[in-house]
Amino acid sequence: MQRVVCYGSNVKMGIADRSESAAIKGGKKQRLLPGLAVGDGFTRHPFDVKNGVRTSGLIAGRHLKSGHRHDRHVTAYYGVAPSVFQSLVRRWRRSGLAVPVEAFTFVDMGAGMGRAVLMSAEMSFREVVGVELNPTLARIARRNLTAWRAAGRAKTRMRMVCGDATEFKLPGGPCLIFLFNPFGATVMRRLLARIAESFAGRPGQLDLLYVNHEQDGVLERQTGFVRLYLGQVRRSRADAIADHAILANQPDGEYASANYEDCSIWRWVG
């Protein structure tokens, strides 16, 4: 996890921020998820300030209830550091792809408010898909996608799916799955079993990028996957400063930050 600098009230609000803060129901503002209010230590990440979107905030997993059976396996929401994401994607591109990047569909499992989806839409993927279980986060992510398109930032098709990652039907052709530690071991095992079932005997490469890989051991035990990379991916100085500042604003100090993320890259070999 990570953190951001407090910018003060004079920061210009982006499209997604205005739409969220102006949401009115019955003459009153809708209640924000815990962690998204200033009183909860909410601080905007520079990514949001620069791009006019809303992907900031730290929401503990216990506050992300959706009524789904997998709620108890959900981890905290926090947007991936842009520098970590971009570094890991660059490393993946050098991993010996069987087909060009343009042939891959990028799928973010546990996409939250869509920060990784937005960044990947600026790349050359065939399509970009975010899958998010919590309907509030998925709704905010869709607003972010709308803002991204309006700003001319999307270079490929992108969409958000509100649903369970273990029930999502992977698109045909090569896929790149992204995980920023979205859930615990139970859901990870179910997701990997679904992937193994989907890709058994079918053409098309499948790779997996895993940031803050707490369930790396589950992948090690899943037949059919090989690890291509294991290591620490450092944040840029700007991201490290921002993430440390954001986490320092937590009232309860529940989460800590480091200047790197433990990451791994995996490939399905059947």
Residue 202 lies in a domain: yes
CA dist., res. 197 & res. 107, Å (int):
17
- Quick one: which H or E segment has residue 244? helix 237-248
Number of structural domains, the chain?
A: 1
Residue 33 lies in a domain: no
Residue 206 lies in a domain: yes
Residue 207 lies in a domain: yes
Residue 228 lies in a domain: yes
Q: Compute φ and ψ for 102, nearest 5 degrees.
A: -60, -15
Low-confidence ranges of the chain (pLDDT < 70): 1-31, 61, 63-64, 67-68, 70-73, 75, 251, 253-254
Within 8 A by CB and 6+ apart from 117, the residues are 106, 108, 111, 128, 129, 130, 141, 144, 145, 158, 160
User: 183-242, pLDDT tens digit by residue?
Assistant: 888 989 999 998 888 888 777 899 999 999 989 999 999 889 999 999 999 999 999 999
Q: Copy the structure tokens of residue 48.
A: 């949001």
Angle between helices 237-248 and 82-93 (to 10 degrees): 140
pLDDT the model gives residue 137: 94
Which among 136, 133, 211 is positioned nearest to 167, based on CA atoms?
133
CA angle 245, 143, 50 (to 5 degrees): 40
Give the residue ranges of DSSP H helices in 62-199. Answer: 82-93, 115-120, 135-150, 185-199
pLDDT the model gives residue 206: 93
pTM of the model: 0.85
CATH number of the domain at 177, please.
3.40.50.150
pLDDT the model gives residue 230: 97
